[in-house]
Amino acid sequence: MSFESGQVEDLIKRGLAAGAFPGAVAFWGRPGAVPSRAWAGQRGLSRNRQAVSPDLIYDLASLSKVLATTSLAMILHQRGRLDLDRPLADSPLPALAAGQAGSGADWRRLTPSHLLSHQSGLRPWRPLYRLAGASLAERRLAALRAIWAERPQAAPGQRSLYSDLNFILLGFLLEELEGQSLETLFNRELARPLALSRAGFRPRSGPLAPTEDGFRYGGPVAHPEALWRGPTPLGRPHDDNAAWLGGAAGHAGLFAPAADLWALAADWALAWRSGRGLVFQRETLAHFIRTRPSAEDSGRPLGFNLAGAVEALAGSVFPAGAVGHLGYTGTSLWWDREKDFLWIFLSNRVHLRAWNPAWEPAAYLGGPKRKNWTSPADK
């Protein structure tokens, strides 16, 4: 199957008809070249009913893990600022968590590599937003101490267990190593060098796609603010922990249009082809993309996910070795470095409600779903 604009637009319209999302934008092609593009639908259904445009800014959710936190980790690792194998007990974090009574985690064995590969054993999620904390500094400290006191579900390196806590903690670590906020680091190290015009945390302008309306996750008890807060405001992360942490966290909070994702991922591809991009280096990429087996499973790369490990969006299209990530709000990015092909799909599938049976892979896939496909590089 070839990725033709008409075919991709048809797939988006199928998703619209199924109720999978109100609108979507797709970019694809050879990284570094002008991408093919398709878009259709509306920004929102209950509000922001304007037509979707290719410059629409989406809440990227967990794509933040790879586009912001993992990318920053690669840059700091290149400079010798981040030792991936240095125990977290020897990092700046224990001093911040001082006074925390007890911990079940073996921080003398846990390393940044365990966080990046989701092999720390920390549980997948925790409602940190329920902790006390009036100021952002108080909330950040409360979150760090809460994670530091976690009792892991597995030993370091025992098994792969996807966890937001890994990347929240990793975000704190990067901030402490550089003495600057994650937002400042992203702007300094990625947005400016790569000329990303709209990508960033806490967006203040530009066309924004709405996320969830009314009660969170389709029910009135999921969030303490649900009864009075109403729809998630534009520019506020759909992820409650990220919003509670000021809108910028290691696991979620990044917003961007497809063009900025394209520019960032294109620098990965440039580094892979030529040895060095504007900010990334092939040696670093190869180190991060290499799969780390755990004691109990085949593992995953550092920060990235493998296309063969997911069954959503483009998971069944790309070779198992293609890397990228998904975002809970309905976003995805996959890079097949062997074919030099990049696929970006952005939607706000959590609007009107996050619980949406039409989004399930069995009902609809937001990307072409065939194993035998050809990219423009094959023509």
Closest CA relative to residue 325, chosen from 273, 214, 251, 232: 251
Question: Residue 374: pLDDT band by 50, 70, 90 thresholds?
Answer: very low
If asked whether residues 131 and 52 sit together in one domain, one would say no
Average of pLDDT values for 271-292?
97
Average of pLDDT values for 286-297?
95
Residue 287 lies in a domain: yes
pLDDT at 221 over 50: no
Average of pLDDT values for 354-372?
56
The parent domain of residue 39 ranges over: 5-67+188-378
Instruction: Tell me what pLDDT residue 307 has.
Output: 83
Residue 166 lies in a domain: yes
The larger pLDDT score, comparing residue 142 to residue 370, is at: 142
If asked whether residues 215 and 346 sit together in one domain, one would say yes
- Report, in angstroms and rounded to the nearest whole number, the Rg of the chain calculated over CA atoms: 20
User: Of the ranges 72-81, 219-228, 236-245, 293-302, which is most confident?
Assistant: 72-81
Instruction: Tell me what pLDDT residue 315 has.
Output: 46
pLDDT at 217 over 60: no
Question: Residue 370: pLDDT band by 50, 70, 90 thresholds?
Answer: very low
If asked whether residues 216 and 310 sit together in one domain, one would say yes
Instruction: Tell me what pLDDT residue 379 has.
Output: 30
Average pLDDT, the chain: 87
Closest CA relative to residue 300, chosen from 314, 320, 317, 319: 320
Phi, psi for 8 (deg, rounded to 5): -65, -40
Residue 374 DSSP one-character state: B
pLDDT at 202 over 50: yes
Average of pLDDT values for 341-364?
81
Residue 76 lies in a domain: no
Instruction: Tell me what pLDDT residue 10 has.
Output: 87
CATH number for position 250 = 3.40.710.10
Supply the pTM of this predicted model: 0.91
If asked whether residues 122 and 201 sit together in one domain, one would say no
Percent of residues in the chain assigned helix, strand, coil, to nearest 5: 35, 15, 55
CATH number for position 129 = 1.20.58
Average of pLDDT values for 174-190?
98
Residue 110 lies in a domain: yes
Cβ(292)–Cβ(300) below 8 Å = yes
> Which residues, listed in sequence order, are joined to residue 58 by a DSSP beta bridge?
256
Strand 331-336 versus strand 323-327 pairing type: antiparallel
Given 161, 179, 197, the domain boundary residue is 179
How far lies 78's CA from each of 93, 192, 196, in Å? 21, 18, 21
Q: What's the domain count of the chain?
A: 2
Residue 164 lies in a domain: yes
Cβ(248)–Cβ(182) below 8 Å = yes
Given 129, 157, 179, the domain boundary residue is 179
If asked whether residues 150 and 292 sit together in one domain, one would say no
Task: For residue range 142-180, list pLDDT tens digits in order.
Answer: 999 999 999 999 999 999 999 999 999 999 999 999 999
Peptide bond into 141 cis (omega under 30): no
If asked whether residues 347 and 206 sit together in one domain, one would say yes
Q: Which amino acid would we find at residue 206?
A: G
Average of pLDDT values for 286-296?
95
Instruction: Tell me what pLDDT residue 50 has.
Output: 95
Closest CA relative to residue 59, chosen from 245, 253, 230, 322: 253
If asked whether residues 150 and 222 sit together in one domain, one would say no
If asked whether residues 113 and 11 sit together in one domain, one would say no
How far lies 309's CA from each of 94, 157, 329, 346, in Å? 34, 18, 19, 20
If asked whether residues 145 and 291 sit together in one domain, one would say no
Average of pLDDT values for 15-43?
94
Burial of 369 (0-12, 13-18, 19+ CB in 10 A): middle
Given 179, 209, 229, the domain boundary residue is 179
Joined tokens for residue 285: 């990429």
Residue 280 lies in a domain: yes
If asked whether residues 229 and 362 sit together in one domain, one would say yes
260 CB-near residues (< 8 Å, 6+ apart): 196, 197, 198, 199
If asked whether residues 277 and 303 sit together in one domain, one would say yes
Average of pLDDT values for 31-58?
95
Instruction: Tell me what pLDDT residue 360 has.
Output: 67
Cβ(255)–Cβ(59) below 8 Å = yes
Question: Residue 371: pLDDT band by 50, 70, 90 thresholds?
Answer: very low
Residue 77 lies in a domain: no
If asked whether residues 305 and 362 sit together in one domain, one would say yes
Instruction: Tell me what pLDDT residue 224 has.
Output: 55
